[in-house]
Amino acid sequence: MLPLSLVVLGCSIPCLAAITQGSFSVLSYNVAGLPEPLSSGSPSTNTPLISPLLGQFDIVQVQEDFNYHAALYASDNHSFRTSTSGPALFGSGLNTLSNFPFVDLQRIKWKDCFINEADCLTPKGFTFMRVKVADGAWVDIYNLHADAGSQTGDINARKSNLAQLAAFAQTWSVNMPIVIYGDTNSRYTRDNEALHSLLDGLNVQDVWIQVVRNGVEPLPGSPANACPSTFPSGTPQSQMIACETVDKMFIRSSAAVTLTSITITNENDAFLDSAGGPLSDHFPLSSVINWQLSSAIRLADSIGGANNDPFTDLSLAALGSVPRITSITLRGGNRLDSVSVTVQYTNGTTATATHGGQGGLPSTLALQSNEFITQAQICSGSHLSSTSVFFLRVTTNEGHTLSAGKSTSDCQTVTVPTDVGEAGKAWGLVGFWGRSGSEVERLGAIWGASY
Ligand SMILES: *[C@@H]1O[C@H](CO)[C@@H](O)[C@H](O)[C@H]1NC(C)=O
Ligand SMILES: *[C@@H]1O[C@H](CO)[C@@H](O)[C@H](O)[C@H]1NC(C)=O
């Protein structure tokens, strides 16, 4: 028997209320895994000690995971982990160990490096992935390892590195919540401009600046408030987190998901050897990030492949009010060629968003004034050695349907959220998100409480 408060009106069978908030923990750790004796640590001894300690964090991102990768994963049980990109000289040293599934992993090499500190010897860079923390809670996660060193060439390389990441995220993470964490090799005192290409370019917040420093950045040009290489046993957390590390965490909310973090922790005490010494030459930094779904706009899972460019109609809703669809047009033949919605805002203004190409035959459904789309069936299949969307059928609250493409054996049906929408409004389709080129490659519904 379910507690009464969990039974939601509107479910035809008893069903659980949607989970609309929660939290997840993240860990950023440079594990000093260059081959000995190049490594600044003792990875052959320490990596096996680090491995079983990673399990207490939901999404771990490591840097310098080069030549001891197998040992790092050996005693870890995260369900979703990236494959190594190779040892030093070949790989970026970046990996992610997650309790949540992810899609769209990309490894991107920096355009610029500076020869000092051997930065150009291995292809450092950043990774991007879209992680499903919970239903509706899709979060774009970035890991990075910027150029090291303190020469002018290093400082300029870091400016280029962080600007490159910002430019990428401006395309790939439009209207998405973002968490960026890793080894920036940057300090506000020395690399203010580099850090501000993230802060200003992406409108992210530095968790350490917000939580520990009350929003106040260390002054550019002032002496570095660097941490000692290790802390004596018994050092209070407040002291360990007061100094500035180059390992940093940034977060940003979206219209659909609010992210907040009120903790950042130097995990020094949890990552020590039996003699009390640190397991790497960087500190492990953790944070607990709270997420909350909007009750006005919500992302459903997207279905399909990882080809071509990302798109999102969340931009329609990010304008301030969530619109309603007045008509929808699909083009299809053997597969789904395009989706197009025309929406209307409460002030009467209309807008149209179209994704995909001109192939296939079009068909249109004009919605009546109290009619809205409550269900979408999306089918995918293999096409040109990738996965793409073959079929879409939408169904309205009045039982009307519109479909395009050809059905496959791999279909998913999604329906509107079950929790009550903002201002008591009913949920209906307001747009799509996914990836498209000349056809639709990946497709997910965006639900809005505007009906
Ligand atoms: C990983 O899973 C195995 C098998 O269930 C277990 O023996 C081991 O203790 C787990 N490791 C950690 C670090 O939790
Ligand atoms: C109507 O509302 C939309 C969404 O808030 C806005 O973008 C648009 O400028 C408004 N149009 C007028 C004429 O006020």
What are the residue boundaries of the structural domains of the chain, listed by start? 6-293, 297-449
| 355 residue type, one letter | H
Give the residue with greater pLDDT, 278 vs 40: 278
The pLDDT assigned to 7 comes to 37
The conformation of residue 201, written as its DSSP 8-state character, comes to H
Q: What is the mean pLDDT of residues 231-244?
A: 97
Query: Is residue 1 scored above 80 in pLDDT?
Result: no
Other Cβ atoms less than 10 A from the Cβ of 101: the count is 12
Closest Cα to residue 62, out of 90, 15, 35, 29?
A: 29
Predicted confidence (pLDDT) at residue 3 exceeds the cutoff of 90: no
pLDDT single digits (tens) 213-234: 999 999 999 999 999 999 999 9
Stretch 435-439: mean pLDDT? 97
Query: How many residues in the chain?
Result: 451
Across 118-130, average pLDDT: 90
Domains 6-293 and 297-449 share a fold: no
CATH fold, domain 297-449, is Vitelline Membrane Outer Layer Protein I, subunit A (2.100.10)
**Is the pLDDT assigned to residue 6 strictly greater than 80?**
no
Mean pLDDT confidence for 381-394: 96
Mutate to test the pocket of ligand 2, among 345, 350, 430 (most ligand atoms within 8 A of CB): 345
Smallest-distance ligand from the CA of 79: 1
Residue 376 and residue 392 in contact, taking contact as beta carbons nearer than 8 Å: yes
Is 276 a pocket residue for ligand 1 (Cβ < 6 Å)?
A: no
The pLDDT assigned to 4 comes to 39
Output the average pLDDT for the chain: 94
Per-residue confidence (pLDDT) for residue 41, from 0 to 100: 85
- Expressed in angstroms and rounded, the spacing between residue 130 Cα and the centre of ligand 1 is 26
| Ligand 2 atom nearest 348 alpha carbon | 1
Torsions phi, psi for 240 (to 5 deg): -65, -30
- Confidence check: pLDDT of 353 > 50: yes
Tokens at 220, concatenated: 């550019």
Domain covering 6-293: architecture: 4-Layer Sandwich (3.60)
Q: What is the DSSP string of 155-170?
A: HHHHHHHHHHHHHHHH
User: At residue 136, does pLDDT exceed 60?
Assistant: yes
**Three-state SS at 200:** helix
Report the range out of 10-19, 317-326, 389-398 with the highest average pLDDT. 389-398
Our mutation pick for probing the ligand 2 site, out of 347, 352, 450, counting the most ligand atoms within 8 A of Cβ, is: 347
For residue 319, is pLDDT > 90?
no
Contact 233, 259 (CB under 8 A): no
Quote the ligand 1 centre to 52 CA distance (angstroms).
8
What is the rounded end-to-end Cα distance, in angstroms, of the chain?
32
Among candidate residues 353, 354, 297, the one with its CA nearest the CA of residue 320: 297
Q: What is the reported pTM?
A: 0.94
Residue 40 confidence (pLDDT):
85
Q: In the predicted model, what is the mean pLDDT of residues 42-49?
A: 96
Cis peptide before 284 (omega within 30 of 0): no
Residue to mutate (ligand 2; options 313, 319, 343, 430; most atoms within 8 A of CB) = 319
Q: State yes or no: pLDDT of 12 exceeds 90.
A: no
What pLDDT score was predicted for residue 8?
43
Is-contact 74 130, C-beta < 8 A? Answer: no
Mean pLDDT of the 44-53 span: 97
What is the chain's percent helix, strand, coil content, to nearest 5?
20, 40, 40
Q: So what's the pLDDT on residue 17?
A: 60
Ligand 2 surroundings by CB, under 6 angstroms = 319-321, 345, 347, 349
Structure tokens at 21: 């908030």
Share of the chain above pLDDT 70, in %: 96
pLDDT tens readout for residues 81-114: 999 999 998 999 999 999 999 999 999 999 999 9
Q: What average pLDDT does range 187-194 have in this prediction?
A: 97
Q: Does residue 39 carry a pLDDT above 90?
A: no
pLDDT at 5 over 60: no
Q: Does ligand 1 lie within 6 Å of residue 75's CB atom?
A: yes
